[in-house]
Amino acid sequence: MALGRFATANRSRTAHEYVLTTLRSAILGGTLKGGTRLVQAELAAELGVSTTPVREALRDLATEGLVVMDPHKGAVVRPLDIAEVREIYELRMTLEPLMVRRMIASVGDAHLAEAEQLQQAMETETDLGAWVDLNRRFHAIFSELEDGSRLAGILAGLRDSAAPYISLSLEARPLQVPEANAEHKQLIALYREGDEAAIIELTLQHLASTLAAIEQAHEAGLIG
Amino acid sequence: MALGRFATANRSRTAHEYVLTTLRSAILGGTLKGGTRLVQAELAAELGVSTTPVREALRDLATEGLVVMDPHKGAVVRPLDIAEVREIYELRMTLEPLMVRRMIASVGDAHLAEAEQLQQAMETETDLGAWVDLNRRFHAIFSELEDGSRLAGILAGLRDSAAPYISLSLEARPLQVPEANAEHKQLIALYREGDEAAIIELTLQHLASTLAAIEQAHEAGLIG
DNA sequence: TATTGATGTTGCATCCTATAAAATGCATGA
DNA sequence: TCATGCATTTTATAGGATGCAACATCAATA
């Protein structure tokens, strides 16, 4: 099942946590596609732990919404359909503005400098997987400002659920990358100015264009 | 710890599910108060299962946000503070209108008749615990119309998290009950008419007044 | 203050049981 | 005779119990 790539870069405090983060990365990154059966014994053997922490991790992913579990039947990677992606984006477009307002209040120069560094790295990054990872870290800088709040948790869950689709969409239409780079640059500038309305507008526009790209890729048959 | 009252009325398919629903009810109903330590061995003995399903249930509750778990430290019932209650209501006031729009589209006469029955039962109910349960079932009729959607899941989580506070607030200010009864009656009428704007307005007003009641009870020192 | 030891509790591995789905055999009807 | 439906067995896999090891906490001591 080729989880080794994820399994190595991971020094968790507990086996359960290790399995959880490994599986989550594999699902979000698209390595584990929707519909894949997740057999406890197989995963345990592959990751070098017993089935107990694997079961716990699968349950966590189930309540997070990334896998589906039925009693005595087992766990399956949740196969999102396009309707659910649309709902996720509807909710994000409703909630992200609230998040923006809070982040403006708590963002500092250090954060913006860090964001700028990542932004520049993304400009020159050619590997798509690496770019996606940088992108995640970029947005994490802002999200972590409000870490621990309900809103941040909900949005994180929504973003995670749509992440596999974004990866696929980027593969299908790589020209989205320069667009996103430009938007990130603009975003930093707007945060420097503290222009709330403009940030919200840019955010909504970014979400709308991402959803449009996913839908196009879906209609073209590039996404299940 | 007196979980027996919940433990009996529960015929789950798995021990894990049984523990999960039992603990959740106890937390939502206020039997297990915020800050209470949840020791796996104790719970297992009390519920007549081993520690394995208990741990799984605790993890579920942790990702639901009802308990906090630290590695090797254990689980504690999450002590909500008033700030978090405010955030929950802010989010609900943002999201419930979306939910209303969907529910109007899918509600039928049978649902409204069922809601009316519950509404009438609540008019005459004197026991507070029983009233709270009827209230939950009343709102569940509407929520279940959209069951399975992301939005419904998020809202269910938010409502659950605030539930202990609502219980406490009702105990502190029982006059909220007739108010709520009147609002429920009005709600049914508005759904019959399909008046979207009015339903949303009433919903927001209901949320605002509930939050105000909780805050008053909090300021009066009746709520931790 | 730092260190060490005792204690309680979690976390994990192993073994066993319960369950659901698949496979097999049998009977019945065309 | 063959196909089809039903009952029964088999097998794969999830769920649960138990025992032990790892860890955090706190108290006692230097």
How would DSSP label each residue in A46-57? HHTS-HHHHHHH
Contacts 24+ apart (CB under 8 A), B190-195: B191/B103, B191/B104, B191/B107, B191/B112, B191/B115, B192/B112, B194/B104
Q: State whether A150 and B14 contact (CB < 8 Å).
A: no
Residue of B nearest to A155 (CA): B154
Q: For A66-102, how does the pLDDT look when each residue is reduced to its tens digit (9 = 90+)?
A: 999 999 999 999 998 899 999 999 999 999 999 999 9
Report the pLDDT averaged over residues B174-201: 94
Residue type, position A214, single letter: I
Q: What percent of chain B has pLDDT over 90?
A: 73
Nucleotide whose C1' lies closest to the alpha carbon of residue B70? C10
Strands (E), chain A: 37-38, 67-70, 74-77
CATH topology of domain A4-77: Arc Repressor Mutant, subunit A (1.10.10)
Query: Tokens 């983060």 sit at which residue?
Result: A21
Crossing angle for the helix pair B51-64 and B40-47, to the nearest 10 degrees: 110
Q: Does B50 touch chain A (CB under 8 A)?
A: no
Of all residues in chain A, the one with the smallest CA distance to B83 is A149
Model confidence pLDDT, tens digit, residues B119-137: 999 999 998 888 988 998 8
Would you say A80 and A161 are in contact if contact means Cβ atoms under 8 Å apart? yes
pLDDT-wise least confident of A112-116, A136-140, A211-215, B51-55: A136-140
Say whether A63 and B65 touch across the interface (CB within 8 A): no
Adjacent-strand bridge partners of A68: A76
Within 8 A of A87 by CB-CB distance, chain B residues are: 149-151
Mean pLDDT, residues B83-90 taken together: 96
Residue of A18, A59, A81, A84 for testing the chain B interface, max B β-carbons within 10 Å: A59
Residue B138 pLDDT > 70: yes
Q: Which residues pair with B38 in a beta bridge?
A: B75
Mean pLDDT across B83-112: 95
| Cα(B48)–Cα(B223) distance, integer angstroms | 33
Q: What is the pLDDT, as a whole number, of residue A129?
A: 83
Contact (CB<8Å) B63/A65: no
Write the DSSP symbol of residue A21.
H
Looking at residue B9, what is its pLDDT?
45
CATH number 2.60.40.10 given to B82-219: no
SS3 of B49, please? coil
> Which bases of chain D are under 7 A from a protein CB atom?
13-19, 22-25
Position A57 pLDDT exceeds 80: yes
What residue ranges do the domains of chain B occupy? 4-77, 82-219
Query: With bands split at pLDDT 50, 70 and 90, how would you rate the model's confidence at A178?
Result: very high
For residue B59, list chain A residues with Cβ-Cβ distance below 8 A: 56, 59-60
The predicted pLDDT at position A11 comes to: 63
Min Cα–Cα distance to chain B from A122, Å: 32
The SS3 of residue A148 is: coil
Asked if pLDDT for residue B142 goes beyond 70, the answer is: yes
Given an 8 Å threshold on Cβ–Cβ distance, is A91 in contact with B158?
Answer: no
3-state helix, strand, coil split of chain A in percent (to 5) is 75, 5, 20
Mean pLDDT of A113-130: 93
Please name the member of B13, B56, B88 whose beta carbon is closest to the beta carbon of A150.
B88
Report CA(A73)–C1'(C29) in Å, whole number.
Answer: 36
Chain A partners within 8 Å of B52 (Cβ)? 52
Structure tokens at B51: 């520690």
